[in-house]
Amino acid sequence: MSALHPHYDALVQLHTRMHHLSHLQSIAWWDQACNMPPKGQQARAAALAEIAALLHRMGTDPQLAAQLQRAEQEPLDELQRANLREMQRQWRNANALPESLVQAKTLATSRCEHAWRQQRPANDWTGFLENFRPVLRAAREEAALLAAQSGLRPYDALMDRYEPGMRSETVERVFGELKGWLPGLIAQVTERQQREPVRRPSGPFPKAAQRALSLDVMQLLQFDFDGGRLDESTHPFSGGVPEDVRLTTRYGESDFVQSLMGTIHETGHARYEQNLPRELLGQPIAQARSMALHESQSLSFEMQLGCSRPFAGLLAPLMARHLGADPAYEADNLHRLLTRVQPGFIRVDADEVTYPAHVILRFEIERALIEGDIEAEDIPALWDERMQALLGVDTRGNYRNGCLQDVHWPEALFGYFPCYTLGAMYAAQWFAAIRRQTPELDARIAAGDLSPVFDWLRDNIWSQGSRWTTDELAVRASGEPLNPAHFRAHLEARYLG
């Protein structure tokens, strides 16, 4: 421990210990989603609640308030000050919540998420609602306490945990602009694509072949298999810790695109985690800056790169190798297949043009839920109304492919959904900057050289962790804060150009 900053060093040691416990917590969550037998649920929920309470206790130790204040007076360098800023932010959030609420919420979400896995395929909204009410109660209590501590509106207080500094007023303005031009773009693109026939490959597509394809694509995307693995789960996710990233995807033998693009998406998340500043791991400054930035990485991989014409040329031989010879895997046809726009039920399967409509719907509903403007019972009718208005899709009575499709609400991840479309906007902004730096980007990708993309992301996003605020990071990386115009320009260039 340094004589110059003993209080800061003690905080560093505490956060290192908390990181180690969070490591075990993350692996237990991954195991719950991928491997755990059904009879393990009750014990696992209790264990996760216990470790959540322990971590909360450590993060709210009464001595920390004085220690943080004293560390503020110590001679810290720029990195240490940024780390202290993030420690203070975490401390403020943690101290707004009593341990009893943290534990109750963990129990409620564990039960709700586990039951949801069976209730969704059974189209059982009534059964889900019984488990969801305690989750919503805990989330509202959490939002109220965070709001009282921060001075923010309840929903903004929840969103701030995932996207520090972002406010629903900004999201509402950006999404309002999207709602103004997106339906027209969807109509234009779908009408145009009706004149561009696409050959669809003939299945079935065996799960073993899809998994082998996924692993090869992850290799192409330079995932470090010595520091992570790929598994299967009900809902694709990227979990674990930076030292041991756990990805999942899901396979359907009638459709390979779902698992392929899910794998590419999660690999984007994983490479961000694997390339966070290693020398600072365990400290808040070494964590991903925000979830919109995290989603900007998954969508940089899945949409900006993965759905591009030059990348389709790299995928084509891999498809033939694992799924067999089929003219549908020819690069131009594959590109048309991956960029097909079709309004549908499922968010995670949506194309990049219709995807924002799914996010807008969820943002509007969950904000009203947390603010108390609606109750859980109101969700299906609102869902049906807005799916029809935004996408022309009828979801009445179809809870499985409607309001039960996502894991976020069972897990009380309120405030997360806006990050997906904000992430798509950031991804378009990053690629605009990459193209300015490397005008011949498409030719480099077509030749199998992905280094212009990965080097730029590593230098400007991955290695920076939480050193800067989101706006400052965006300006340093691309020359400007979030600018949604890049997203619209990208969609119009790809689909109407």
* DSSP assignment string, 411-433: TT-TT-THHHHHHHHHHHHHHHH
Residue 364 lies in a domain: no
Whole-model pTM: value is 0.93
Nearest to 93 by CA among 156, 29, 48, 27: 156
Q: In which element (H, E) is residue 245 found? A: strand 244-249
- Residue 233's pLDDT is 87
Domain count along the chain: 1
Residue 60 lies in a domain: yes
Residue 191 lies in a domain: no
- Residue 2's pLDDT is 67
- Residue 203's pLDDT is 84
Residue 173 lies in a domain: no
Residue 217 lies in a domain: no
Distance between CA atoms of residues 234 and 237, nearest Å: 9
Tens digits of pLDDT across the chain (497 residues): 567 899 999 999 999 999 999 999 999 999 998 999 989 989 998 999 899 989 999 999 999 999 999 999 999 999 999 999 999 999 998 889 898 998 999 999 999 999 999 999 999 999 999 999 999 999 999 999 999 999 999 999 999 999 999 999 999 999 999 999 999 999 999 999 999 889 999 889 999 999 999 999 999 999 999 999 999 987 788 999 999 999 999 999 999 998 999 999 999 999 999 999 999 999 999 999 999 999 999 999 999 999 999 999 999 999 999 999 999 999 999 999 999 999 999 998 899 999 999 999 999 999 999 999 999 999 999 999 999 999 999 999 999 999 999 999 999 999 999 999 999 999 999 999 999 999 999 999 999 999 999 999 999 999 999 999 999 999 999 999 999 999 999 999 999 98
Catalytic residue among 163, 266, 273, 352: 266
Residue 28 lies in a domain: yes
Residue 29 lies in a domain: yes
> Angle 402-404-410 (CA atoms, 0-180°, nearest 5)?
150
Distance between CA atoms of residues 181 and 174, nearest Å: 11
Q: Is residue 366 among the annotated active site residues?
A: no
Range of the domain at 134: 6-161
- Residue 1's pLDDT is 57
Residue 95 lies in a domain: yes
Distance between CA atoms of residues 10 and 228, nearest Å: 31
Asked whether the beta carbons of 47 and 110 are under 8 A apart, the reply is no
